[in-house]
Amino acid sequence: MKIAYARVSTADQSLDLQLDALERFGYDKIYMEKASGGKDDRPELAKALENLREGDTFIIYKLDRLARSTLKLIETLDLLNKNSVEFVSLSDNIDTSTASGKAMFGMMAVFAEFERSIIRERTVAGLKAARARGRMGGRPKTDNKKLDKAIKLYESGDFTVTQIQVMTDVSKGSLYRELHRRKQEISKQT
């Protein structure tokens, strides 16, 4: 089955150019939407991807209709590849059913990995620079005395978690994590 997807970013843009090209290529079913490419919540794209089966072909007019970032594009194309779905981008002359299309896909995967590495390097460098200035990042540690008090109040059964949170300034998450940690410790000892 050939499934096509067409998208424009705003309501005042027209799908006509994409639809004409997709019709010339041919498809069995098409999904269309007017939504920003930067949004991850694109219901018609999700439906199109869900309906693809092994051996199907997914067709778009141009790569930027599918994703805004190389990383997101590669994630989507990797999903198609894992599900044995061929991919065609009409304007970009990519067809993964051909040797040159597979090669192009491979090159795009290399660039996506490069992009991930650069992001990782920048993150590590940024954290290192922040630490050098005395900023450690992450959540601040909860005061153990406050946490012990919160546990005692909880175990008394006289207060709700919200009341304990107000009285001790210990978040619900911290209280529940500590309760879970202590429960795990007790189960290890028995």
Q: Which residues are catalytic?
A: 9
**Strand order through the sheet with 57-60:** 29-34, 2-8, 57-60, 86-89, 94-95
The C-alpha atoms of residue 20 and residue 143 are separated, in whole angstroms, by: 64
Largest Cα–Cα distance in the chain? Answer: 72
**CA proximity to 81, closest of 63, 117, 99, 55:** 55
The C-alpha atoms of residue 152 and residue 186 are separated, in whole angstroms, by: 16
CA 168 distance to own-chain centroid: 36
